[in-house]
Every structure is written in structure tokens, then in C-alpha cells.
Amino acid sequence: MRGLARDAGLEQAIIVNSCAVTAEAERQTRQAIRRAGRARPGVPIIVTGCAAQLNPSAYSAMPEVARVMGNGEKLDPAAWRDTAPMLVSDAALLKETAGHLIDGFAENTRGFVQVQQGCDHRCTFCIIPYARGPSRSVPLGTLVKSIEHLVQSGHREIVLTGVDLTSWGSDLPGKPSFSQLLRRLLAQLPQLERLRLSSLDPAELDADFWQLFGDEPRLMPHLHISAQAGDDLVLKQMKRRHSRTQILEMAALAREKRPEVALGADLIAGFPTETDEQFERTLQLIPEAGLHYLHVFPYSPREGTPAARLKRLNGDVVKTRAAALRAAGTAELERRFTRLLGSTQRVLMEQGGIGRTPCFAPVRPQRSAAAGEILTLRLTVLAGDHLLGEAA
């Protein structure tokens, strides 16, 4: 978007890429718009993203906003040259993903490549399919070119992203699987040093994926699970396609294939009608599955979703449950970091003097190192939210 705005002569514009996954995300979006308007009076503010897609009139009505663009328009060069105050098409009619080559990520040593956009599932709590449209995949050839371009630009690690990442290929000729995508990328890009995955649906990981995960060291031992809950009835009410047992089996299989693996998960606290006992099963899932990196979302009703019609829990109960999940995740993460002490790790340095191990643990080396450098370090001390490492 930065490049498209620049090409359209909008170098002084402020672009706000909005989120709609929770009410808090939308509140922060509005707050950011007002703050930007106060800080840079007279500079045009363009709002795009999911919140703008779902409720364009609300953002267009804000006095600070010059233009609103939908998700289908924000990666369209012609839309950035258009001067209409509102450009928002129907997300359900979107058929393509953007195939633009991104020159690089100035703030990161990791490059992010979107392989898939949209979602065909209808989880009862989620508004995102209505904001992003149907699932659609970027063809393999385009992805190879994009990753090759980023690697040549100096990115030593690539992260594959998507709204429903593991559904990649379902809309392409021959319906190739996600695991086939990974095999082909790794085979065609021998110069790629590290490949990391974003959120995965546990219902869509096949035997071929697990074989590749166990055999390919360039595939980072770090998996993030779209779990959402640890109680089967709550999962059913959410219209998820996996069970508690499947999450536990996935965690066990991941450790069987790669004992050093780190596991993360998305969890929703306080889903409507969730009882104390059901919440407790979600809470216990964290140590039972060994979930280290948690994204905890207090349930937020989204107008237009089935769950919004269910009886909501008391707000204080939701906050208390979210805090309990985060505390359990922090305790599990501390145990994880403690087990890493004394081990030797290859650490990819980032901006700010912190690097990441293959399993995503943050490490600060004894000596300063340039972003993008890979150091071999022995982990010596747990220092709060990161580890200290010395040259091995």
C-alpha cells in the first residue's frame, strides 16, 4: 500500500489499515485516526482494511477522514489514483489476490508473504469472511517469484501468511494441498534459509505435512494453532471443525516429529454461554498441550454473526477469564525458556538487538550484531521476557 500510494502521488497521505476482529480493535482504529488528525492537520487520511470494508459510512463520516477504501481496492493501483471519497466493493465478489512484488520489509529481517486471502468457513464468532471475501490462493509461480525477490533483498527468513492459511490450493486447478505448497517452495528455493508458518487450522493438517515437518530443518519448529477453545461443546457452538482431543494429538505429534517445537495458539475467553467447567477445560489445555505463545481474545460480539445473538457473559467474568488464560500462558512460556537454558541455538538478529531462535524464543546476545546476521549462541540466562546468549 505504501508503494501504491507513492506511485499515485500520495506520499504525504496517512494510511490507516483497520482491523475488525474485536470491538477493541475498532475502538483503537478510531482513536488512531483522531490522533493522526491532530498530529498532522491538513494531511489526507485514507482508511482501509476490514473495519472500513464492513462499515465504510461510519469512517467516511469522521471529519479527519479524506477517503475510505475497501479490501478489494487497497491493493489496486487504479483505486489509489481515483479521488472518490469512498471506494468499497462487495467482498463476496472478490476473486483474486494481489500479486505485487514487495521490495522488502524495512523494519524486519523476516519477510512476510501472503499465500492466501479470504475464508470459506463460517465460525459463529467471526466477521472476517464478510470483510475479506471467499478463500482464494496465490499461484505457486507467483509465490516463488515473491519469495525469491525477498531473499535477494536480504531476508533470511520468510513467513507464510493467510486468513485461512491451510486452505491454500482449494480454489486452484488440481486442488494442490498446503503441504504440497511447502514441498514445492522448499524444493524450488534452495537459497531460502528459514521458512516459518503463521496460524494453522488443526483440522487441515495431513500426513504429508507431518512428514515434511519432521524431515525438513528449514521449516521452523514453531507452530501456531487456531484453537479458540479447549472444550468440545464450546468448539461445536463456535462451529469449529476440530475437537479438544485433536489439539492434544496435534501437539503430541509435533513434539514426536520435532522435540524442540514451540507451540502457540489463539484462544477466546468468555464465549457466550461458556460455563465455569467449560472454561476450566480451556485453561487446562494450555499446560496439557504445552502452549507457549498465546493470543488471547476476550470475546467480542460482531453484529451479523450467529454468536452475537447468544446471551453474553458478564464483562468482568470475561476479563477475569482472559487474564487467567494469559497468566497460564506466561507460566508455560517461562518453563519453556528455562528448558532452553544451556542449549545452543542459531539466532536470527532483528532490529533493536534482539534475535529469534528457530522456535521463536527471543535472545539478546552478549555482543551487538547487525539485523539479518545469524549467530550461533549458547543460551545462558533468563532475563524477564527474553534469554541472554553468548557465542558458542
Residues 6+ apart with CB under 8 A from 142: 99
CA–CA dist 114, 165 (Å, integer): 9
Cell of 143: 509465490
Please state the pTM of the whole predicted model: 0.89
Beta-carbon neighbour count of residue 63 at 10 Å? 8
Report the largest interatomic distance among the alpha carbons of the chain, rounded to a whole angstrom: 59
CA–CA dist 386, 179 (Å, integer): 32
3-state helix, strand, coil in the chain (%, to 5): 40, 25, 40
Helix (H) or strand (E) holding 214: helix 207-215
Domains in the chain: boundaries: 2-89, 110-340, 344-391
The CATH H-level (homologous superfamily) assignment of domain 110-340 is: tm_1862 like domain (3.80.30.20)
Output the average pLDDT for the chain.
93
Pairing of the two strands 194-197 and 157-162: parallel
- For residues 11-25, average pLDDT: 91
Please report the pLDDT score of residue 351 as a whole number: 87
Strand order in the sheet with 110-117: 136-137, 110-117, 157-162, 194-197
Q: Which of 80, 57, 72 is nearest to 118 (CA)?
A: 72
Backbone angles phi, psi at 92, to 5 degrees: -65, -20
pLDDT tens, residue by residue, 349-371: 998 899 999 999 999 999 889 98
More confident residue, 220 or 103: 220
Please report the pLDDT score of residue 21 as a whole number: 86
Query: Amino acid identity, residue 161?
Result: T
CA–CA dist 35, 37 (Å, integer): 5
CA–CA dist 17, 2 (Å, integer): 11
Q: How confident is the model at residue 90 (pLDDT cuts 50, 70, 90)?
A: confident
User: Is residue 196 within 8 Å of 158, Cβ to Cβ?
Assistant: yes
